[in-house]
Structure formats: structure tokens, C-alpha cells
């Protein structure tokens, strides 16, 4: 399929417009789409001819359900690790650029927004959700870790909510997305065309004020004390053990979510959130994430996770290291160790 079928990039007045146009694939993000977004942003910034960038997705189901990982899986299965490493490096460079943009970047996170979709929306200056929004970082379920700079948002969430979201892959509604820092405001999906029209005509953020409404009550708010209690421990395993010792229905369901995920990913995701909280910058977050994703096929469980959850859909991954009790400190340290000459380089370009 040609790139033109996947994404629409144009300028309307002083507004740069990006629309993901793969609704049947839930607007999943391909490598080529990442590079096209980066080029458009670079060109607009260099030319200085837009005052605002607005990104949305076609269809009512999803803004962007994540990265299109079919090519990643195929390359990893054939032990070609260079493709994935290049993909993640280029994708993370885009994420950093969006986080550091000097002009407003408005993201309409309507519908499903997960993984790579978070990376091209939640680092923007103005993140908008609707009653249809569902936001999640479910990467631990496929042998990865919350990446695309998501660890920075997780680290900044109230209390230890970030650890909870990273380890469980919990699917947030609009209220939870605002509570956790993945979004700023909620609006009615029916009003989106009118908002888009105003932003295209004016390139003025003042238009947002007329559409923002009250956010839904966050479903996680009643559990924040429990989240802080259980996820404030020193390791992912101690958090899980704390949950399993709690007889409440919520704690047992939460523990079950963690047990379903890749143990190595769970342990490393927890450690990354803690590290990024100590040094909260987009550059540090992406560096820590890249150390894991660089090794995720060669030394991790990514290929098996994708096989079980997405390719064969048997939902029965055969993790090499399981359960979580068997993941050692040495394994965690090895997955997150510096890459030396292969460290993430955010200065490159396409």
C-alpha cells in the first residue's frame, strides 16, 4: 500500500495538518508514516509558515492503536535485529521532536490510542480526549516495555499510578487519561469537526476554550490509595506479592493482569519508571527505553510475545523466564545497561 493511502499531510492556512488514514487498521503507525510525520514537522518548523500543528485519525474507532509491528515481528523472527533497532531509533527521535516543539501541537486522541499512538499525541502541547477515548500502554503484554517516551508520562503521574499503568496495561477512559497526565481536556466527539475547522481557519489555540468540557470522573481515583500502597514497593515482584496478599477483588484482578504479562518486561518497566522519575526528561526517558527495545528481540521476549498475542493469537506465550519470581536483578541490569557506541542518538535525521 502506498504511503499516500496511510497518511494525509497538508497545510491549511497557518495550520499544519496530519491525519492518519488507515481506519481499517485502527490507524496503526508504520515506519514510513513515522518518517513522513517527522519530515512534515521539520519542514514546517524550518519554513516558519505554520503557527500550529493539528493531528487526528480517520474513523470513529481509533486515533492510533499503536505501531504496525508485523514487519518488526518478521525481522525479529529471522534474527534481523537491525531493522527494529533502526525503527525504534527513528521513532524515538520523532517523539523527542514533538515533545520539544516550539509551536503548539494539538492531538485529537479520539478512540483507541495505545503504544506508538501515544508517542505521536501525548507529548503534544494540547492533548484532547473524547467520550470514546481509550488510552493504554500495554507493551508488557507483548514482551516490550512502555516506550515512545511513555515512561516520562508514567513517571510524572500522581503517586505510583505510573507503575500501576505500566505493569498492568490498564485501559484508561478519558477521565483517567487526564488524571494520569496523558491528556489535558475532554470534549464531545460530535464537536470535533467544528473544532478542527476553527483551528484550521485561525491557527489560534484560543479556539480550544469553547469546546473543552468537564472530564469524566476517573475510574482509578477511588483506588489511588491502594495503588500507592501496593506499587510503592522496591521492586515489581514486591508490588505483585503485596497485591496477592490483599484479598480484595480489585487487588486480585490487578495481580492477575500483571501475571499475564511478560515477567522480564514487567520487572524492567518498573525499573525504567523509577529511573525516569529520578531524571525526568524526554531525552532520558527515550534513552532508558531504547536500551531495552534495542535488546528486546536478541535478548528479550518480544518475538514470542507478538507471536502469542498478535500473530497466532493463542494468548499462550512461552516466556523463557517465568514467573516473575525467576527474573533476577542481573537480568534486569543486563537489559537496561548502557549501549555504549549504540546508545540512542536523537540528533540524526531522515
DSSP 246: -
Collapse the DSSP code of 15 into the 3-class scheme (helix H, G, I; strand E, B; otherwise coil) and give the result. strand
Considering the candidates 6, 68, 126, 147, report the single residue annotated as catalytic.
147
Query: Which residue has 531493522 as its cell numbers?
Result: 83
Residue of 116, 143, 162, 175 marked catalytic: 116
SS3 61: coil
- Annotated active-site residue 147? The verdict is yes
From 16, 57, 66, 67, the catalytic residue? 67
CA gap 178, 187 in Å, rounded:
12
- Chain centroid, CA 53 distance in Å: 20
d(C-alpha 259, C-alpha 240), whole Å: 8
Do the Cβ atoms of 218 and 179 come closer than 8 Å? yes
Instruction: Considering the candidates 139, 176, 184, 301, report the single residue annotated as catalytic.
Output: 139
Q: Catalytic: 139? A: yes
Distance of CA 168 to the CA centre of its chain: 14
Number of H helices, E strands in the chain: 15, 9
DSSP 190: G
Give the residue numbers marked as catalytic: 67, 116, 139, 147
Amino acid at each position: 500500500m502506498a504511503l499516500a493511502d496511510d497518511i494525509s499531510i497538508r497545510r491549511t492556512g497557518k495550520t499544519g495538518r496530519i491525519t492518519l488514514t488507515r481506519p481499517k487498521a485502527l490507524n496503526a503507525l508504520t515506519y514510513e508514516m513515522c518518517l513522513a510525520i517527522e519530515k512534515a514537522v521539520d519542514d514546517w518548523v524550518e519554513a516558519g509558515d505554520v503557527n500550529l500543528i493539528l493531528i487526528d485519525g480517520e474513523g470513529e474507532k481509533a486515533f492510533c492503536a499503536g505501531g504496525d509491528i508485523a514487519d518488526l515481528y518478521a525481522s525479529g523472527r529471522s534474527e534481523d535485529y537491525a531493522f527494529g533497532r533502526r525503527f525504534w531509533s527513528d521513532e524515538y527521535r520523532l517523539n523527542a521532536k514533538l515533545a520539544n516543539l516550539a509551536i503548539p501541537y494539538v492531538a485529537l486522541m479520539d478512540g483507541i490510542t495505545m503504544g506508538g499512538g501515544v508517542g505521536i499525541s501525548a507529548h503534544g502541547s494540547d492533548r484532547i480526549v473524547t467520550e470514546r477515548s481509550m488510552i493504554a500502554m500495554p507493551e508488557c503484554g507483548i514482551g516490550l516495555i512502555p516506550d515512545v517516551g511513555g515512561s516520562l508520562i508514567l513517571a510524572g503521574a500522581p503517586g505510583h499510578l505510573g507503575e500501576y499503568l505500566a505493569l498492568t496495561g490498564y485501559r484508561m477512559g478519558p477521565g483517567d487519561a487526564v488524571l494520569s497526565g496523558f491528556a489535558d481536556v475532554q470534549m464531545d466527539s460530535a464537536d470535533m469537526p467544528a473544532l478542527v475547522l476553527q483551528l484550521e481557519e485561525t491557527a489560534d489555540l484560543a479556539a480550544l476554550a469553547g469546546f473543552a468540557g468537564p472530564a469524566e470522573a476517573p475510574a482509578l481515583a477511588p483506588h489511588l490509595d491502594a495503588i500507592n500502597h501496593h506499587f510503592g514497593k522496591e521492586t515489581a515482584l514486591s508490588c505483585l506479592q503485596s497485591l496477592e496478599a490483599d484479598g480484595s477483588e480489585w487487588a486480585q484482578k490487578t495481580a492477575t493482569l500483571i501475571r499475564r504479562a511478560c515477567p522480564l518486561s514487567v520487572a524492567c518497566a518498573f525499573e525504567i519508571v523509577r529511573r525516569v522519575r529520578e531524571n525526568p526528561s524526554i531525552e532520558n526517558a527515550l534513552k532508558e527505553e531504547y536500551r531495552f527495545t534495542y535488546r528486546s528481540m536478541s535478548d528479550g521476549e518480544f518475538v514470542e510475545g507478538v507471536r502469542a498475542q498478535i500473530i497466532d493469537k493463542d494468548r499462550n506465550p512461552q516466556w523463557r523466564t517465568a514467573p516473575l519470581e525467576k527474573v533476577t536483578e542481573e537480568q534486569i541490569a543486563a537489559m537496561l545497561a548502557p549501549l555504549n557506541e549504540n546508545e540512542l542518538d536523537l540528533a540524526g535525521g531522515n
